[in-house]
Structures are given as structure tokens and as C-alpha cells.
Amino acid sequence: MMLTLLDELLLFSGATLLVALFIGRGLAAGWMVTILYGGQLLALLKMAVLGYGGGTIASSLSFEIMGQELSWRFDGLSWFFALITIGSALLSSWFSCGAWERSYIRQGGNIWLFHTAMALNVFTMLILLASGDLLSLFIGWELVSWAGFLLMVLAGGVATSAAMRYITYAMAGGMAIFGGLALIYTASGSLQLEAVTTAVEQMSGAKLWLLVILFGGGFGVKMGLMPFHLWQAPAYAETPGPGSAFLGAISSRMGLFAILLVLVKLFGIVNIESLKLPFTPIDARDLLAWIAVFTIILPTFTAMKQNDARHLLAWHGIGQGGYMLLGVVVADAMGGAGGLLHVFNHATYQAALFMAVTAVIYRTGTSDLNKLGGLVVRMPLSFVVLLIGIIGLAGLPPMNGFVSKWLVYRSLLNQGMPLLFLAAVIGTLGTILSVYKLIHNIFLGQLRVEHEHVSEAPWSMMIPMLILSAIIFVTGLLPGIPLEWVASALQTVGLPVPDHTLGGIESASGSLDMIWVIGVLFAGFGVGALVFYSAGRSKRVHQLDNYAGGHFLSADVRYQYSDNFYAGLMHLIGGWYRGSFLWLERSIRSLVEFLSLGMQGLYRRANAEFYLLTTALFVIAWVVI
Amino acid sequence: MSSIKQIPVVEAKRTNPLARVFDDLVRFCRSRSLFILHYCTGCGAIELPPAMTSRFDMERLGIQPMVSPRQADILLITGYVSIKTLKRVILTYEQMGSPKYVIGICSCTVNGGMYWQSYATAKKLDEYMPVDLYIAGCMPRPEAVIEGLQQLMDRIHAGEANSWEDYYRNYDYYLGNQQKLFGEDWQTPTDVISEAKHYDLLSNGTLGDHTRLLEQHQKPLEALEMRLGHEQKEPAK
Amino acid sequence: MSTNLVLTIALPLLGAFLLPVLMRSSVAIALWSGPAILVYGCWTVAELWLSGFAQPLSIAIGGFAPPLGINLYVDSLALLFAFAVQLLGLVFWPFTLDQESARRQSLMLLLVAASTGLALSGDLFNLYVFYELAAVATFGLASASGSGAAYVATLRYLILSGIGSVLTLFGIALIYSQTGTLNLAHLAQLAPAQLNNSLGLTAFLAILIGIGVKAELFPVNTWVPEIYATASTRLSAFLAGLLSKLALLIILRLLLLIFHQPEAAQVILILGILGVISGELAAWRAKEMKRMLAFSSIGQLGMIFIAMALPDGKGMLAVLALALHHLIIKSGLFMLAEDWGGALERLRGSAKASPLGAVLFVLFSLSLVGMPPLPGFWAKFVLITELAAQVEPLYLLGLTVFLLATVVEASYLFRIAATLYSNPAPDTLSEEIPKSKGLSLATASLFGAGMIAVALLIAPVGDGLQAIAAQAQDVDLYITTVSPAVSGGSQ
Amino acid sequence: MSATELLIELTLMPLVAFVVGMMMVLMMRRIAAKLQRRVGPPFFQPLYDIVKLHSKRTQVSHGLIHDIGIVMAMGGYIAAETLLPVPGMNGIAEKGGIITLLYLMMIPSLGLALGVGQCANPNGSIGIARALTAMLAYDIPLVIVVFGVAYAAGTTNLIDIIATQQAGGFETWGVTQMPLLAIAGLIAMHASLGKQPFEIYIAPAEIATGPMVEMGGKYLGGLFVMQCFQLYTTAVLYVSLFLGGGTTWFDFLLKSFLVLAIPMSIAYLFPRYRTEDLLRLMWKWPVMLGLIGIAFVI
């Protein structure tokens, strides 16, 4: 049998899984797995044609089960997501090799399980990305969900409860999709994409609404969209360092992939737009957009209140997902491009950020923002990585996050959606606030006595971080590179493509050329440096030689502002954090508790025969009447 | 970080005429832009607001109040200086950026004034730090303050107000007096001696018995240099 | 060869009565005769199957042709279950050797005989008789563990199923009074004319509730948790896995052959939905593994009832798939539960003590919640596609309940999994941690292997089931097979 | 346009900005003096201050980031000026557009934040926390205004925005087309200057001028330079959004100074707001006005 390129990729990925599974206990295993990820990346790059102008590559693997055709293939969209998946897996696994691995084992972690779970995640994700019909999509979806569960549950303790919460959400989402699948099947008589598209055309509004809700909700759970976002932050944050980098980078984007495939490609934004919400001016698309916007704002401002670096980042991961969905549902050229480009950018800087935080934990043993500070003098490279990461996350030039957000803003502007635009910007501002808190409380301010002897993270962890930082900057300088891939992905889902240059976007209504912008920015820095350094030579002083209103500072006194950052802001908005969703979750939980209590009571009753007779009488009476 | 080569701004014996013009400009600017840090201990503070506000308006002379010692050029001390206060005054003085000037206002700073017999006040301010200018009086009126400031400005322009260098040159003397008051384990976070080296103002008066005493007690406070080393000093927790 | 099939009922029956006697003379023979009989039974059925079994056939006992005589109806469905009975009888054979063992083993044989009868018999009255036999055997076995709780539970079970039998008998009597025959095939012919009325419906419902006691039909299933929690695990596995399915089989046959009233389907649907809700919810708070499994099997049976309620046999395939899947998975889970009894909290850290058991548990759970590509997924897929195709809101309600129930199921099953994998409480000694081991683990892994085999061969298995379902649905085939004379339908 | 011309523009634009900015600082201090019946500083006072600060012997540094922060604070604005078209010089305005400009204007404050952070002084950190909060406060009305203008002009390119306003003289100016947005913009601009009553993050008597607490010598000097740029940029941005930019340097500068004079003459009449009051104010009135204004535009 002739192997297609896709087969090679899947085989490679499967091989990685097997290697991790069988020889994953040795210390060299990490490196071996990492190399295999590299191999997967190569296998993917052999399909690079998909990234530049499309076509599809089918897998020779396909089944027929109970009259269901199952097939797998890759197109531009799959390639784009697969690139991010494998890339982040490669770097995370590289990061985990060597020093981190040893310390993880020293703390009683099971490294074999870790590598296996990572490999399993990548494998299942590739299967999901390759799905050629709705049934294989669902199969891939469930596999990804459970693989993610495995990775999240690794750490035990708090992580276990977080993962349990996740799996309940994920099952709910999966079942919603399952139901939707059944409905579609009855409508179209097949789960092949073409059949579904034709079936959607002559589907009644109500039914399409139901489908949009089922699928949107189901996929939304994984993306952490608004009402279903609670599980994500703790689940990602409590995963062992590199794992959280990987999950944060790509895992929840599978939801976006599925949304693109089903809602955008199969249903079509036009059909979705035609669904009006009764008694209101808004339609399904606006509904999605507003969900996206709330997903941007609320988690971002929740992140601002976190005091654990990993949780803070994880909450931002949820918030950034909103930008992607927002761009995709606005669905004009710039919006679509922005949404998809943001997937790539987010993956890069989120991974870098989680890695930097993990490096800090590796050296100091804590990620509590109130127990750190001043580490820049001890871990300068990690600081640089974190800095680049947060600039990307906050979406400021010169990093890549700016480009994608710029595109989203522009699309909202062109479409004339002021409120959405405003909300998106509010999200960005909130992000700036909370990432400054992050970098300040870890790296700036007063160095604690117990961290006097901390040193920079080892190279095995440093190199992947630096590579990521380089990617973040380069794709910020030359957004044209990823935009090529994004363009071909957009074509496959049938969205318009913006005309882009190497430096950015060409548009009659105002274009963007990052090469120039960054050029002048650095020129400006140069001039500033000239002015600055031409003045007198400066003298470094100890951090305790500091203004304290005439007070004599000493090392044992903490002279650092970290807790209740943004106190003034919280005076105003602090009362707005109601935890309503937590309350909702708890109430649902307790409702189930209550019901199940009742049911057990039902079964604990001794007079079973009484039930029997009553039922008998009841049904007979029912017949007679 | 200052690996970049740059021109030291103020230096004696410059031959380059342009440089002399430049120095002149710099001195002029210094004299016309003075940021004051008021250290108002007991009394005398009351006379400064009028000097600043609409009646006399220091700002027309380019003088304005500042808040933290890092920003200020003039340390303006009014009223008696109790020993406790003096510690703070010295700390503040050492944290100020040179060229810096000290003005003692009111008789108390000159000779203890009405507290000349108190056990708890430092009588002569210039035993503990070089004072550029005393404005005597109990208390001096704003005119006097302005007058004094103008004198200081002229001296700065003339390049004579260099008493701050004296603190580095004769640190041992000042430190000695400070130790007399505060005991021999007295130290401030500022590493004056290394600064003296930094400004190449190290002279034979800088070091002496007292500085030796200081070095015995001093908890070292070198600046935290940025480290790139990957070898862990202590095993990671 | 077809007559050998009768032996699969007769031999165990014989053995059941002779065993105590044998026991007195020679223990060895007595010990091995039981398994031998079962092996023979398996072989007979398998051999019949393998020898190109295509057309269903009817075996008239004693040469009297139906409808007068008693007959066994053998189609692939019946064969499948007959085989399952013999096999599981073997698997769950009480090998323990003590003064009780003779009684237990003979009861086991009796149970097997009766179950086989239930699977094969083509006659309503025989069905009833075998049903009673099975019940009697079950009482004996359930109380055999000897604990007080077991006796109480068995007593309740006894009363309940007693009343159930009375109801069943009442239903059968009604039918007989109406039609004058109890032969299924014959009834199938007469039904459209004579039973398609409220009286027929009453009869059906009476039988439904009566037999529902064994089929764990809501609400006459309150004996389930007690019995399963107290009786020996192997028995529970047998009951939950097989006997309930046989009761289902009876109801299914009646539904397919005789009672086509929509009301009948509706009642089943409603009771099924209630069963799912009550079972899964009750399981969510269960503090003990066996109890949890008991409740969850109530829920699963409820799902099967929902499938059964699908009009004109659409759900046949789903019923089969779900039933067989549940048969494998639940038996396996019960075998695991044998060593993991007691409070769930005790199970902390068991995964380290017995990794294989834990892995099996996770696999079974995954299949139970329908994770592709495990067989459970396909079973559920078949069901929900059928349900979604219906227009009545009640079916869609069923669909919704089904999906929600699955979420609940996942959350409680994986709570156990998490407990297994979590670190043991600091003050527990390693020997305190329960390990799953020995025979039970072996049996469980047997079922696990079976499950994986099915998962791998899902395509052929699916086709096979479709064939079986098609055959079982075919009423005319049934009639013609049993009484060729009346194939014209002239009665 | 040839490369040399572009190069000249790119060098001239920041230079002009700096000079004009210093004049604006002077104007600000003079206005304050006049309001307080004082004479006020001499003409070259801003220059004196900057030269003096850069020529201090002691330059207390708390570390590399401390230095880099100041460099970013100056450099960010220097870069921003090249995106801000002035009469006769467009620089690279069409390469960026207004959104980019707004984001570039955040770089200096980010740099300052980093630099202050390494000073290890809580006063500074509190100052930055307040500054960022203030940014959250005034940027919301600001982006509403920018959205309105850009949507009305149908472009984010500042050159086109100015051109469309200059097309029909005074009638087509932003201020006449969208008066509500203009008012909202004015308030937001005032807050963005960080002058009284909104100077919550300077708060001399409270947190020792917040970010500047550890800044002396050229560090403070750098911030003075940054202030010049800030005043210039804010004023010119407003002029190009609402007052039709400038055709000649004369009316351009006239407009800029006038625009700046408005908040300045209000500023020194009020005491300072508390942080939450600033937020409340900014999120209520200008936002309301802005949204109504946008409603008119769309």
C-alpha cells in the first residue's frame, strides 16, 4: 500500500506515542521523544504545500462501520493548527528534558506518564485535525478530551479535582455535540461534509438554532467560552510546567478548529447570521460575538486578581480565546485573518510565558506572586523571555500579538461595531494591567533574601524559551510569514483573505507595515539611548539604598508592593466580582446532589412491593381510562 | 552597564575652548534650575511657603520644591536638629545626587540657637555634613531666604559651590563626628567611600580611623550585579 | 443435532438434582460434573452455530407439533443468549469447596438450565416456568452468602418477585382466556385480531411489570442495590449481566411478536426514562463500589428500555448492542468490585497496588460512558441516531435524558478512577490497601480482552448484530418456522 | 518621496516635537503661575532643568532595566512622532495609522513602568499601579473617540483623516462634524496628561511623586524630555483628529497651543481626585458623550 504524506505524519506521531509508552522510563527518553517530535515537524513540513494555497492530502486509512464512512485528510486549516500543535509540543518537550525532568522526578513525579500523556495529546490532536467527516471529528474530539484529562490529572492533589471538574464539563460538551450529531444525521442521512452542507441549506430555522447552540456550546466548552470557562484556568495551571505550556498554547484551540469546521465551513456564517433571536434585534452571529467579548473581558479581569503566576496566565489564556472567536465570527477578511493569526501568536507567547514561570518555579520553588520579586538580577534571560511574552500577550508593538489584535480591531472598525471594539480594547487594557503585575511581582522590585543565591535557569530550559521569544519577535516584525498560512487556512473554510505583504496588511482604509513601525521604534530607542548614555556615567546602588522617607532599610524588612495591586481600581470594581458563575456551578452541583439523595431514598424504601402494586394499578387504570 | 564611553561633564583643566563654553553653560543651567528638598524639623518651615508662593515666587528664579532626595539639589534644613533627626538628615543628604548643596536655616542649625544647652540636639550642622550656606535668624524672613538662595546661585554659576566634594574628601572627619553622636556601629546604606572612588574624589582625608571602624561594623551592601551564571549556588528548593 | 440443543437445558437440570447425591458418593466427580456439563452446553451451541446456521428452527418437544405441543424456538438471537448463558455459567462457576458448595453448585446449574430455557423456549407458559425456576435458584444463591443482610435482601427480593410472578401469571391467564393458546407463534398470528385491545394491553403491562422485576424495570427494581451489594459478587455479575438481559429478551419477544400497541411502547419508554434518571442519579452519591455498579446497571437497563420502546422494532439493533455491551462491561466491573468492596475511600492508592485492575476499571468505565472507539460508543451511537429520528417529543426527551445521564455517569465513574490513582491516606499501611487479584482479576481481564476484541472487530460484529436483529424482527419468519402448516396465515 | 527626504523628515519630526514640547511645558508652568498670581519661570526654564539634570555628577542607577526603562520612555515617543503628520511632513504616517500610534504611545509608559519597577521602591510601584489604572480610565473614552473619528473618515490613516477635514474648511472639521466626540476627547486628553485634578500617580504629598521617587539626574531628565513629547503628541493628535490638522505651521501650532491651554487653565483650579473617583468620572461622562456621538456618526 502506498503511504501518503499524512499517513507518514500519523505513523510518526503514533511511533512517538509508542516510544514514550514503552521506553519512557529512562532519562534519555525525553530527548528521544523530543527528537521524534522534530521528525513529526519535518513530516508536517513535507506537506507545506497545504500551508501555501491549499489542496488536501487524504490518508489512505478509512473505515466503514455500521454504514458510516470514516475518513481522514489534511487541508490548509488542519495544517495550520497541526503546525502550532507539533511546534508547541516539540518546544515544551524539549523544555521538559534534562534539568526539569530530574527535579520533577525528585519531587516524585511520574515522568514516563508525563511523556506518554504529551505524546498521546499530540497524536489525538492530529487525528482530530485530520478528521474528514463529522463522525471522525467526534471521535477525534472525544480522544482529545480524554487525552487532555490524562495530562491534567498527572500532578495529583489539586490537579485531580481540577481535572475532574474538566472532565464533567468536557463530557457535557461532548454529549451536546453527540446530540447535535444525531440530529444532523437524521436530517442529512449521512455524516459526510458535503451531505451536511446540503442538508443545512434546507433546514428549518429552529433546527439550525438548536444545532448552533449544541455545537457552539459543545465546542465552546473546550475553548472555555463564557458560561463554560470555569474549569480551564485551574486545570491548565495545575498541570506540570511544560504540560501547562503545551495545553495553554494549543489545547483549547481545538475548540476553535471545530467551530471553524462546523459553524463556519459547514453551516456558513451567512446562515448563522440569518438566525434571528426572537423579540431582539440580534442574530446568532451577534450572540457569538458578544459571548466572545465577554469571554475576553471577564476572565481577563479575573486574571488581574490572581496571586499565582500560573493561574494568572491560564486565565489570560481563556480571555485571549475570545479575540480569536471574535475575529472569526466577524468573518470579514481582516477579522478572520486576525482570529486565526491570533491562534498562532497566542500559542507562541503563552508557551513562552508558562515556560518562564516554570523556570522561576524551578529555581525558587514558588509561583506565588507575593513570595517573589527582584529576580531580574538573578534570572535576566528568563526576565527577557517573560517581557517579550507579556508584550505579545498585551498586544503591544513590536511583538506579534499586536498584529493579530490590530487586525481584529480593524475588522470591527470596518464593520462599524463600536461596542465590540470598545470591549475588545477594554480587554487589552486589562491585560496590560495584569501582565505588569505579573512581571513586577516576579522580576522587579525588591529581591528577597532567600533568593540571593538563585541563578539563571539551565540551558536545557533556556533554549526553547529563547527560540520562542525569537519567533514572537520575528513574526511580529514579519507578520507576512504566518499570514501566508492563515490565508490558505481561510480559503479552506471559505472566508475572504486580506491582501498582505511581508510587513503586514495592505488596505485602502489604512494599512500596517510592521517593518517600518518597528524600524522607527528601534531607531527611537537608539536616539533615546544616545541622549541617555551621553550624560554622566551612572552608579549602581544597592536596593536598600533607597528612599523610604528617611527610614533606614534593612534586608529583613520587606520593602515591596505586591499584594492587592491596583487597590484603587479594586475600590471601584472590586464589588463587581460576584463569582456568579461559581455560584451557578455550585447550585447545579447541589441540585444534582439533592436529586440523587432523593433517588437513593426511593431505593432505600423497604416497601418495594408497594411500588409494584401501585404501578400495576396505575397502568391498568391508565389502560382502562 | 556604562560600557559606553562618554565625556565626563565637569572636569578641571580643560584645554578645549568648546568644552569650556560647555562647562559654562552647564554651570549656568545648574545655577538657574534648583530643586529644593525641604527638611523642616522643628520650626522655620512656616517661612518657606510665602517664599514659594505668589508673594515672592521662587519659581521665577527656577527654584522649585521636590519630594525625594534623588531629585533634589538643595537640602534645606530648618530649625533645630535633634540627634534622632540628624540620622535621617544624613541619610537624606547621602542619597542626594551631587552636585548638592546644604542650606541651614535658623540659628539652631548654626549653633544650636535656643537649644544650645540641650543634650538631645546637634549644635553645629557643619560638623556632620558640609554646609554651603547658613541663613541665620529666628526665624529668617522669606526675603532673607531668597537672598541666600540668590547668593548660592551666584556661587554655583561661579563654580565655587563645591562643598559636596568636601564630604567625600574629608569623609573620615564627618564620619568621626557622626560616630561620636550615634555610636561606633553607625552606618548608612550609602557606600560613601566607593562613591568617592567613583567620582575620583578619594583623598587622604577620606579614609582614616573612623572609616576603618566603619568597615568593621559595616554590613556589606554592594549593588546586586546582574548575574548570567547558570550554576546554582544552592540546590534549588 | 438440533435435539442436542434440548440437552443444554436438560443436562444442567438433571445435574442440578443429582449433584447433591453425587456429592455424597464422590466429591471429585461431583466437582467436575458441573463444569463438564456447561462445557458440553457451550460446545453444542457453538457447534450448531458454526455448522452454517442460517434459518431459525423450531424444536417440538416430544414430537407434538405446536401449537398443541411445546416447542423451542431457535434463532440466532436465542442461540446467542443460550451460548452466553452456558459460557457465563462456566465463568461464574462457584469453585469454592465447602459444605455449602454442593448446594450452591446445584443451584447454579439450575439457574443455567432455567436461563437457557428462557432464551430458547417458544411458549409463554414454559417461559413462565423457567422464569420461576430461575427465580428460585436466584433466591437460594443470593442468600447463600449467609450474612444477615443477605437474608433480609433476599426476603425482600423473594416477596417482590413473588408478586411479580403472580402478576405475570395474571397476564398470561388473560391472554389465554382471550386466545386459548400460549404458543408464541400462534399468538403472533392471533394477536392483531384478538389482542389488539385494552385487555391485551392490560395483559402485556401485567407481564411487563411482573417480568420487569428481573429486568430491573423502574420502579420494581428496588431489590437491585440490596441484592447486588450483599450477594456474592459472581452472582451479582451473573444477575446484572445475564438474567436481566434474559428478562429483557422475553419482553422484547412479546413486544415484537404480539403487542404492537403504541401505548405499550410508551409505557416502556416512560419507565425506561425514569429508570435512567433514578439509577444514574442514585449512583452519583453511592459510597460503595458494588452499590454504585448496581445503580448504574439500573440506569443502563433503563437505556435499553428506551431503545426497546422505539416503534416497530427500530431499536432492535440498539437493544442488542447495548445489552451485550452491558453484559460484558458490567460483569467485568463486578468482578473488579469483588476485591474492591467497602467504602470508596478505602480504595485510595489501589492503582499502585494492582495496576492491571485499575487500568481495566478505567477501560470499562470509558467504554461505559461511550468513548470512541470502544464498543460502548457504537452502541450509544446506534441508539441516539434512532432516537433523534423520532418526531414525538417523548423520544427527544429520552434522548436528552440519555445524554445528561451519560455526563453524570462519567463524573461518578471517574471519581472512583481518581480515587484509585490518588495517593493513599498517610496513615494507611500498604497491606491495608485492597488489591484486586487472583481469579476475579483474571475473569475481569477476560472480559476486558473480550471488550478490546470487539472494539477491534467492530465492523464485522456490527454487521453480525444487524443480521441477528433483522432475523429477530421478522415475525412471519417466526410463524412459518414454528408451524409451516399455517404459513398461509389462514386460522 | 526619496529616501533622503524621508530621512530628513524622520529626524526633523522628533526634533520639532521636542522644541515645541518644551514651549508647551513652559506655557503650562506660566499658566499655572498666572493663575496663582506669580511671575512664573523664565523662558528657557525647561531647557535649564533638562540640561542641569543631564549634567548631574551622581546618576543613581538601580540596574540595567532602570536605565532601559528611561531609554524606552524617550525612544517610544521619538518613534511615535514619526507617525504623527505635521504640515509638510508625513513621515511614515501611512505605514502605521492611528491605532498603531495609540499603541506606540503606550510603549513609553510601559518602559517607565519597567524602569520604576526595578527601583525596588514601593512608592514607585504604587505610582505605576495608579498610572496604569488611570490609563484604563482615560483610554476607554479615548478609543471610543478614535473609533468614531476613524469610522466617520472611513480610514485609520491619519493623513486621510486630516485631508477629509481640510477638504471643506471649518465645516468639515471634526469638531463641527462630531462635537460630542470632540468634548469627550478633550476630557480624555486632559486625563491622559496626568495633570491636576487627575495626577493621581504623581501625588507628591502622598507617594513622593510615585514613579519619579528614585529618579534623579538624567533619569529625571529623561522623564522631563518625555513630558515635552507627551504634551506635544497629545495636543497634535487632538488637533489632527478634530481641528483639521494644520495647513501652515502657524495655524498648526496655534491650534496645538490653544487646545493644550484649555485643560491647563482648568487643571490648576482643582484639587486631586481619588483613583476610584477618576475612574468613575472617566467611565461615566466622556463615555456617555462618546457613545452618543458615535450613535450620531453611524
Cβ-Cβ pairs closer than 8 A, A with B, add up to 92
Q: Whole-angstrom Cα distance, residue A250 to residue A85?
A: 6
Q: What's the sign of the alpha-carbon dihedral A182, A184, A188, A191? A: negative
**Angle, CA C291 vertex, CA C290 and CA C294 arms, to 5°:** 90
For residue B40, give how far its alpha carbon lies from the nearest alpha carbon of chain A (Å). Answer: 13
Show Cβ contacts of residue D234 under 8 Å, excluding neighbours closer than 6 positions: D189, D192, D193, D260
pLDDT score of C219 more than 80 = no
**Choosing among A366, A378, A381, which should be mutated to test the B contact, i.e. which has the most B CBs within 10 A?**
A378
Contacts of A597 in chain C (CB under 8 A): 285
Split at pLDDT 50, 70, 90, the class of C190 is: confident
Percent share of chain C, pLDDT over 90: 5
Q: Grid coordinates in use for D249? A: 505651521
Note whether D213 and B67 are within 8 A (CB). Answer: yes
Q: Whole-angstrom Cα distance, residue B131 to residue D83?
A: 50
Q: What is the CA radius of gyration of chain D?
A: 19
DSSP assignment string, A156-220: -THHHHHHHHHHHHHHHHHHHHHHHHHHHHHHHSS-BHHHHHHHHHT--HHHHHHHHHHHHHHHH
pLDDT at position A204 is: 82
Contacts of D276 in chain A (CB under 8 A): 568-569, 571-572
pLDDT at position A143 is: 92
DSSP 8-class letter at A537: P
Report, as ranges of residue numbers, the positions in chain A whose pLDDT lies below 50: none
Q: Is A279 exposed, middle or buried (0-12, 13-18, 19+ CB in 10 A)?
A: exposed
Percent share of chain B, pLDDT over 70: 86
C40-70 pLDDT, tens digit each: 888 888 888 777 777 777 777 766 666 666 7
What is the largest distance, in Å, between two alpha-carbon atoms of chain B?
Answer: 66
Q: Whole-angstrom Cα distance, residue B226 to residue C43?
A: 82
pLDDT score of C19 more than 80 = no
Contacts of A365 in chain B (CB under 8 A): 236-237
**Angle, CA B101 vertex, CA B98 and CA B104 arms, to 5°:** 150
Note whether C328 and C450 are within 8 A (CB). Answer: yes
Q: Whole-angstrom Cα distance, residue A102 to residue A96?
A: 9
For residue B232, give how far its alpha carbon lies from the nearest alpha carbon of chain A (Å). Answer: 5
Which residue in chain D is spatially nearest to A441 when comparing CA positions? D117
Q: Which of C282, C380, C385 sits opposite A599 (nearest CB)?
A: C282
Prediction pTM value:
0.90
**Angle, CA C282 vertex, CA C276 and CA C286 arms, to 5°:** 140
Interhelix angle for C101-120 vs C2-25, to 10°? Answer: 170
Q: Grid coordinates in use for A261? A: 469546521
pLDDT score of B146 more than 50 = yes
Cross-chain residue pair B230–A455, CB shorter than 8 Å: yes
The neighbour count for residue A213, using CB atoms within 10 Å, is 16
Neighbours of chain A (3+ CB pairs under 8 A): B, C, D
Strand, helix or coil at B103?
strand
DSSP 8-class letter at A251: I
Q: Whole-angstrom Cα distance, residue C108 to residue C12?
A: 9
Q: Is B236 exposed, middle or buried (0-12, 13-18, 19+ CB in 10 A)?
A: middle
Q: Is B43 exposed, middle or buried (0-12, 13-18, 19+ CB in 10 A)?
A: middle
Which residue in chain D is spatially nearest to A553 when comparing CA positions? D121
Which residue in chain C is spatially nearest to A613 when comparing CA positions? C163
pLDDT at position C63 is: 64
Q: Which of A391, A536, A549 sits opposite D217 (nearest CB)?
A: A536
Which residue in chain A is spatially nearest to C279 when comparing CA positions? A599
Q: Are strands A512-513 and A504-505 parallel, antiparallel or unpaired?
A: antiparallel
The neighbour count for residue D297, using CB atoms within 10 Å, is 18
pLDDT at position C32 is: 78
Split at pLDDT 50, 70, 90, the class of B21 is: confident
Note whether D229 and D81 are within 8 A (CB). Answer: yes
Whether B231 and chain A come into contact, CB under 8 Å, resolves to yes
Interhelix angle for D122-153 vs D158-167, to 10°? Answer: 50
Q: Whole-angstrom Cα distance, residue A330 to residue A498?
A: 14
Neighbours of chain B (3+ CB pairs under 8 A): A, D
Backbone φ and ψ for C57, nearest 5 degrees, come out as -140, 160
For residue A463, give how far its alpha carbon lies from the nearest alpha carbon of chain D (Å). Answer: 22
User: b/e for B55-94, b at 16 or more Cβ within 10 A?
Assistant: ebbbbebbbbbbbbbbbbbbbbbbbbbbeebbbbbbbbbb
**Choosing among D114, D140, D224, which should be mutated to test the A contact, i.e. which has the most A CBs within 10 A?**
D114
Higher pLDDT among residues C148 and B70, named by residue = B70
Residue type, C457: L
For residue C384, give how far its alpha carbon lies from the nearest alpha carbon of chain A (Å). Answer: 6
Q: What's the sign of the alpha-carbon dihedral C28, C34, C39, C40? A: positive
Which residue in chain D is spatially nearest to A432 when comparing CA positions? D132
Q: Whole-angstrom Cα distance, residue C317 to residue C313?
A: 8
pLDDT score of B236 more than 60 = no
pLDDT at position A283 is: 86
Contacts of D55 in chain B (CB under 8 A): 9-10, 26, 29-30
Beta bridge partners of A496: none
Contacts of C285 in chain A (CB under 8 A): 593, 596-597, 600
Contacts of B237 in chain A (CB under 8 A): 364-365
For residue C366, give how far its alpha carbon lies from the nearest alpha carbon of chain A (Å). Answer: 9
Whether B12 and chain A come into contact, CB under 8 Å, resolves to no
Q: Which of D52, D58, D215 sits opposite B29 (nearest CB)?
A: D52
A188-235 pLDDT, tens digit each: 888 888 888 888 888 888 888 889 999 999 999 988 888 888 888 888
DSSP assignment string, C72-114: EEE-HHHHHHHHHHHHHHHHT-----STTHHHHHHHHHHHHHH
Query: Among candidates C336, C323, C338, which has minimal Cα distance to C84?
Result: C323
C347-380 pLDDT, tens digit each: 887 888 788 888 899 999 999 888 888 888 888 8
What CATH number has the domain spanning B17-161? 3.40.50.12280
For residue A55, give how far its alpha carbon lies from the nearest alpha carbon of chain B (Å). Answer: 48
Taking the domains of chain B in order of start, what are their residue ranges?
A: 17-161, 170-220
Split at pLDDT 50, 70, 90, the class of C3 is: low
Q: Is C281 exposed, middle or buried (0-12, 13-18, 19+ CB in 10 A)?
A: buried
Backbone φ and ψ for A193, nearest 5 degrees, come out as -60, -45
Q: Whole-angstrom Cα distance, residue D158 to residue D146?
A: 11
Q: Is C484 exposed, middle or buried (0-12, 13-18, 19+ CB in 10 A)?
A: exposed
Whether B8 and chain A come into contact, CB under 8 Å, resolves to yes
pLDDT at position B3 is: 42
Contacts of A539 in chain B (CB under 8 A): 195, 198
Q: Which of C222, C381, C458 sits opposite A605 (nearest CB)?
A: C222
Percent share of chain B, pLDDT over 90: 11
Interhelix angle for D217-242 vs D106-118, to 10°? Answer: 160
Cβ-Cβ pairs closer than 8 A, A with C, add up to 150
Q: Whole-angstrom Cα distance, residue A595 to residue A600?
A: 9
Mean pLDDT in residue range B82-104: 89
Backbone φ and ψ for C123, nearest 5 degrees, come out as -145, 130
Q: Whole-angstrom Cα distance, residue C324 to residue C87?
A: 13
The neighbour count for residue C467, using CB atoms within 10 Å, is 13
Q: What share of chain A is helix, strand, coil (3-state, %, to 5)?
A: 70, 5, 25
Mean pLDDT in residue range C171-179: 85
Query: Among candidates D37, D29, D72, D101, which has minimal Cα distance to D260?
Result: D29
Q: Grid coordinates in use for C211? A: 417480568
Q: Where are the beta strands (DSSP E) in chain B?
A: 34-40, 63-65, 74-78, 81-82, 101-105, 121-122, 133-135
For residue B83, give how far its alpha carbon lies from the nearest alpha carbon of chain A (Å). Answer: 14
Q: Are strands B101-105 and B133-135 parallel, antiparallel or unpaired?
A: parallel
Q: Whole-angstrom Cα distance, residue A409 to residue A427?
A: 12
**Choosing among A450, A537, A538, A556, which should be mutated to test the B contact, i.e. which has the most B CBs within 10 A?**
A537
D88-102 pLDDT, tens digit each: 888 888 888 888 888
Taking the domains of chain D in order of start, what are their residue ranges?
A: 3-297
Cross-chain residue pair D216–B25, CB shorter than 8 Å: no
Residue type, C160: L
**Angle, CA A114 vertex, CA A108 and CA A120 arms, to 5°:** 160
Note whether B143 and B56 are within 8 A (CB). Answer: yes
Determine A/D contact with 3+ CB pairs under 8 A as the test: yes
Q: CA neighbours within 13 Å on the CB side: how many for A189?
A: 1
Strand, helix or coil at A24?
coil
Q: Grid coordinates in use for C78? A: 436465542
Q: Which of D55, D64, D215 sits opposite B1 (nearest CB)?
A: D64
pLDDT score of C99 more than 70 = no
Show Cβ contacts of residue C153 under 8 Å, excluding neighbours closer than 6 positions: C142, C223, C226, C227, C229, C230, C231
Cis peptide leading into residue B99 (ω within 30°)? yes
Note whether A20 and A29 are within 8 A (CB). Answer: yes
pLDDT at position A403 is: 92
Cross-chain residue pair C404–A175, CB shorter than 8 Å: yes
Cross-chain residue pair A168–C411, CB shorter than 8 Å: yes
pLDDT at position B221 is: 66
Q: Whole-angstrom Cα distance, residue C286 to residue C224?
A: 14
DSSP assignment string, A409-447: HHHHHHHT-HHHHHHHHHHHHHHHHHHHHHHHHHHSSPP
Residue with cell 508536517: A44
Cross-chain residue pair A539–D107, CB shorter than 8 Å: no
Report, as ranges of residue numbers, the positions in chain D whose pLDDT lies below 70: 1, 203-206
